[in-house]
Amino acid sequence: MIDSITQKAGIIAAAAFGVVLVSSAGYSSASAQGLPEGFKKGDLAPEPSAEMIEAGKRVYFTKCVWCHGVDGAGDGPGADRLWPRPRNFNQGTFKIRHTASGELPLFDAKKPVPGQNDLFETVTHGLPGSAMPPWEGILTEEQRLQVLSFVTTQLVKDRKFTDKQSETQTVLQLADLKPKPATDESKKRGGELVVEKKCVECHGMEGRGDGNAFNLKDDWGFSIQPADWHKCWNFRGSRQDPYNVGNIFRTFSTGVNGTPMPSFADNTTVDERWDIANFVNSLCERDALGNPLPIDPLTDKPKINFVIPSDMVEGEIPTEIDHEAWQKAPKRYVAMGGQITHKPRNFVNRIDDIWVRSLYNDKSIVYLIEWDDRTKSVAEGKLPWAPTQVNIIDVKEQDPKTGEEGSIAAHQNNYTVYNDAIAIQTAVKWKELPAPIKPRYLFGTNDQFPVDIVKWEADGSLRAFKGTGWDKDFEERDNYEESMKLLKGEWKDGRWYVMIQRPVGNKKDQDYDEDTFFEVGQYIPTVFFAWDGHNGDAGRKMAVSAFFYTFMNPPIPQETYIYPAVIAVGVVLLEGWVLTRRANKKKGKTL
């Protein structure tokens, strides 16, 4: 155990040394050969041994076959309900590489070295944002090399990793290229370059992947969406190190095989690529101080804090996001999963997180909800169901086994477009529930434990419902809607900004039996729902969050300042007493 660490540390140290020593020699000679800057000719790795291949087959048929299929065509039992679809190995097309665009990735069954073995790293770290998990800690290093030996020799059918006639390796010397410091100047130049190099055409003006998102197809004809630069933890090549600028530099230099993402090695210098990488990296969500968000090692996503604090403001709550009060309000990451409990289940939720802030005054509480959505979706014409309807027969879930043509990946971007929407669900009469009991997360439990649902839709409507169970249609709460206010509902460059104001509630104006009353200093169970209209989301086909808590921060009571002072004085007295006693005792002894 300890040995492997010291070894690792040694390698890292050696690699770091290497960077410094070789950096200058590295690419000057490479460009002399007519290769793109930063690349060097490499050799094809030797064929793995027959034993490795045979052992790998056993690993493959235990762990991988379920998605990637018996022949490695990416058509295992799980494939039809996944988007992105599992990789089809047959063509030898692999996304994350150190090799030039179109070339096979680096793989050497004898060399599990980071930076020199692309496939090994993919299996080790997984591909975040897809169903491919990291296999480190599950399969041993040996087993990972074995299964890759099997995949590269038996399942890659159209190409051969050892064929010198047809294959070349032009390897990005990432370890030798010293990252450029992410200065403001570098990021500014990167920001100009992403426009000049037309990155923004697909990735969008703000890099939220909302550009030319609809016409993009991968090599197999499936819809594919450009990466959202603000969610670096979802970058396929983030290698469980999402804020590492080197990952972006690599992807930008080598392209993503099988997708429309080209390599920019030929028309950018290394220096320009670092600028772009620094700029793209700077867009990834950060905390208020500009530091990377803490990443949960178990999920490889930002760590979740389940309390949404709401700060008090005097007077009117500002409607401008730039306002100081909103800038100071803590912003919470709310993770969203597909609703997979009841039919129609949402296996592919395209909204996987929302960002929530809140402020309150004596009369109202305001939620500011922001989320990335590549498309603004507003249903054409009138929807064929009532806003209160929960059971919608028009929306169907994906069949388990359809073949490629009917698969969920083939359906993407071909759905009937409904409204984008967001809803906040809070427990009614939460104070009377014996903690920790809450109404069920999905539209409440029953009449005894109902929920208060406030739903905004992209057609501009803001409605209030009462929910009494997952399959019960909502009940309208007519006189509540007048007391709510939509302060903002704007889609800009791939992001929705929605600001919803609602009363904190009082017995005089509101109905205690169906409206949530917000009280200062209390934990109010809150669930969020999100619908992406272009994903065909409506009714129960949606994204859901876990239970969060809205917590209205109380003003600080005076006692907070008084008691500690009293206690401190008490301690001083106590000290005096102990010292005197000790002194007396000693005196007594010596006397």
Buried b (16+ CB within 10 A) or exposed e, 80-111: bbbbbbbbbbbbbbbbbbbbbbebbbbbbbee
Shortest distance, position 561 Cβ to other proteins, whole Å: 8
Q: How many residues does the chain have?
A: 591
Least distance from C-beta 203 to other proteins, angstroms?
Answer: 23
CB of 110 to other proteins, least distance (A): 19
| Closer by beta carbon to other proteins, 288 or else 386 | 288
Compute the least distance from the CB of residue 566 to other proteins, in Å. 9
Q: How would DSSP label each residue in 209-228?
A: S-SSTTS-B-TTS-B-----
DSSP state of 352: -
- The residue written with tokens 């469980």 in the block is 240
Fill in the DSSP letter of residue 153.
I
> Closest CB to other proteins among 220 and 333?
333
* Cβ atoms within 10 Å of 584's Cβ, excluding its own: 10
**CA proximity to 52, closest of 60, 44, 64, 42:** 60
Our CB check for other proteins shows the closer of 22 and 433 to be 433
- For residue 241, the minimal CB distance to other proteins (Å) is 9
Task: Give the nearest distance from C-beta 39 to other proteins in angstroms.
Answer: 30
Please, which residue, 27 or 449, has the CB nearer to other proteins?
A: 449
145 vs 270, which CB is nearer to other proteins? Answer: 145
Burial class (CB in 10 A: 0-12, 13-18, 19+), 325: middle
- Helix, strand, or coil here: 31? helix
- CB nearer to other proteins: give 487 or 552: 552
**β-pair type (485-492, 421-427):** unpaired
Q: How far is the CB of 520 from other proteins (least distance, A)?
A: 10
Task: CB nearer to other proteins: give 56 or 92.
Answer: 56
Q: How far is the CB of 64 from other proteins (least distance, A)?
A: 9
Smallest separation (angstroms) from other proteins to the CB of 428:
13
Tokens of 412: 């993407």
CB burial of residue 521 (10 Å; 0-12, 13-18, 19+): exposed
Which one, 194 or 334, has the nearer CB to other proteins?
Answer: 334
Q: Smallest distance, Å, CB 348 to other proteins?
A: 9
Bridge partners of 524, per DSSP, are: 550
- Shorter beta-carbon distance to other proteins: residue 427 or 464: 427
Minimum CB distance to other proteins smaller for 106 or for 543: 543
Longest pairwise C-alpha distance within the chain: 102
User: Which residue lies nearer to other proteins by CB, 40 or 331?
Assistant: 331
First to last CA, the chain: 61
Instruction: Extract the tokens encoding 305.
Output: 């804090």
Closest CA to 428 of 478, 463, 465: 465
The least distance separating other proteins from the CB of residue 316, rounded to whole angstroms, comes to: 24
The separation between CA 101 and the C-alpha centre of its own chain, rounded to angstroms, equals: 27
Judge contact between 545 and 335, C-beta under 8 A: yes
Find the radius of gyration of the CA atoms of the chain. Answer: 29
Cα(528)–Cα(514) distance, rounded to whole angstroms? 18
